[in-house]
């Protein structure tokens, strides 16, 4: 007598296809699309999801977490400066005090808990999906993203003539890390100038990144390290409190922006 219930191979494939396409169709129009599933994008998604906002996170890798799996170099311990350890408390991640105001946690523990919390908040994900352009309305408002299958970026031109598809959103958050690849699209169009990330200076960078997190162009909010790249702020290296607080701030800005959009 077999342990598992008998199902056919066809049933398995159909279950995947139907479930994926149902969700995909529903999220062709979202309230907020977050590009990048690193720490800043995940926490922004969690905050928005908790507030009842319909959120889709688009991630080019087949895994979420970005740079949050490793603390620095090859070492999987993450550091956070006070008061960001309170977010670890919220997520139920254990940590220890390294020195006054500095805390250290297991990166895989922190990253997986953050991913879980973002899922719990009702956020949906598209993985292996590259955002390669923006949808613009009225000439000057970001109204969504243009996506393609990520591996397309690694294929030779002869076999990569594959048109992307657009997804609509009321607000887009660029949480693509050091690349600031969404904001960079606006730079390529000559409507935004990116200052480029500054050299590492922990003391200055985290406050500055959180402070500058916000709408950089109509309909586009920047979060996480993308903020440093857009505004020329120092990078922070192997510490993550700034990423988490920046993501929270980005969500707050989006929540303030969304009702205004509904009115107009
Ligand atoms: O790099 P990442 O973790 O960005 P973050 O949230 O956090 C930065 C820290 O990890 C660390 C640091 C601070 O301590 O310096 O680097 O700002 O996550 C960015 C995610 O965006 C994805 C990328 O694969 C990564 O998972 N991404 C980048 N460009 C695109 C993208 C794109 N065009 N389309 C889809 N995903």
Tens of pLDDT, residues 231-253: 999 999 899 999 999 999 999 99
Q: What are phi and psi of 45, to 5 degrees?
A: -60, -40
DSSP string of 187-246, one letter each residue: HHTTS-----PBPP-HHHHHHHHHHH-EEEETTEEE-THHHHHHHTPBP--S--HHHHHH
Asked if pLDDT for residue 91 goes beyond 50, the answer is yes
Instruction: Fill in the DSSP letter of residue 60.
Output: S
Section 144-163 average pLDDT? 89
Question: Average model confidence (pLDDT) for the chain?
Answer: 96
* Cα 188 from Cα 209, distance rounded (Å): 23
Contact 123, 46 (CB under 8 A): yes
Residue 161: band (very low, low, confident or very high) from pLDDT cuts 50, 70, 90: confident
Atom of ligand 1 nearest to the CA of 132: 33
Ligand 1 pocket residue status of 130, Cβ below 6 Å: yes
Q: Is the CB of 246 under 6 A from ligand 1?
A: no
Q: Is pLDDT at 27 greater than 60 in this prediction?
A: yes
User: What percentage of the chain exceeds 90 in pLDDT?
Assistant: 91
pLDDT, position 264: 39
Pocket test of ligand 1: the residue of 78, 177, 199 to mutate, having most ligand atoms within 8 Å of its CB, is 177
Ligand 1 atom closest to the Cα of residue 38 is 18
| pLDDT above 70 coverage of the chain, percent | 98
- Give mean pLDDT, residues 43-72: 97
Predicted confidence band of residue 263 (pLDDT cuts 50, 70, 90): very low
| Ligand 1 neighbour 45 (Cβ under 6 A) | no
Distance in Å, CA 159 to ligand 1 centroid: 27
pLDDT reported for residue 71: 94
- Which atom of ligand 1 is the closest one to the Cα of 226? 17
Asked if residue 252 has its Cβ within 6 Å of ligand 1, the reply is no
Q: Read off the pTM.
A: 0.97
What is the tens place of the pLDDT at every residue in 31-54?
A: 999 999 999 999 999 999 999 999
Residue 262 is predicted with a pLDDT of 55
Residue 219, pLDDT above cutoff 70: yes
Residue of the CA atom closest to atom 9 of ligand 1: 67
């Amino acid at each position: 007598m077999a342990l598992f219930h008998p199902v056919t191979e066809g049933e398995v494939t159909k279950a995947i296809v139907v479930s994926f396409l149902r969700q995909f169709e529903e999220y062709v129009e979202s309230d907020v699309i977050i590009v990048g599933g690193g720490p800043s994008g995940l926490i922004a998604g969690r905050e928005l999801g908790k507030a009842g906002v319909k959120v889709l996170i688009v991630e080019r890798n087949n895994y979420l977490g970005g740079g949050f799996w490793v603390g620095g170099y090859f070492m999987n311990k993450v550091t956070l400066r006070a008061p960001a350890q309170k977010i670890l408390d919220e997520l139920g991640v254990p940590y220890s005090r390294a020195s006054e105001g500095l805390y250290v946690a297991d990166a895989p523990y922190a990253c997986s808990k953050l991913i879980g919390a973002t899922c719990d908040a009702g956020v949906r994900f598209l993985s292996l999906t590259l955002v390669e352009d923006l949808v613009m309305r009225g000439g000057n408002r970001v109204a969504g993203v243009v996506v393609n299958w990520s591996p397309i970026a690694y294929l030779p031109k002869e076999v990569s003539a594959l048109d992307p598809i657009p997804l609509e959103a009321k607000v887009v958050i660029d949480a693509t890390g050091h690349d600031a690849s969404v904001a960079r699209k606006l730079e390529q169009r000559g409507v935004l100038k990116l200052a480029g990330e500054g050299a590492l200076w922990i003391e200055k960078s985290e406050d500055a990144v959180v402070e500058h997190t916000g709408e950089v162009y109509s309909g586009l909010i920047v979060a996480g390290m993308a903020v440093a790249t857009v505004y020329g702020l120092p990078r922070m290296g192997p510490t993550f409190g700034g990423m988490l607080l920046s993501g929270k701030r980005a969500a707050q800005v989006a929540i303030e922006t969304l009702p205004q959009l509904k009115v107009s």
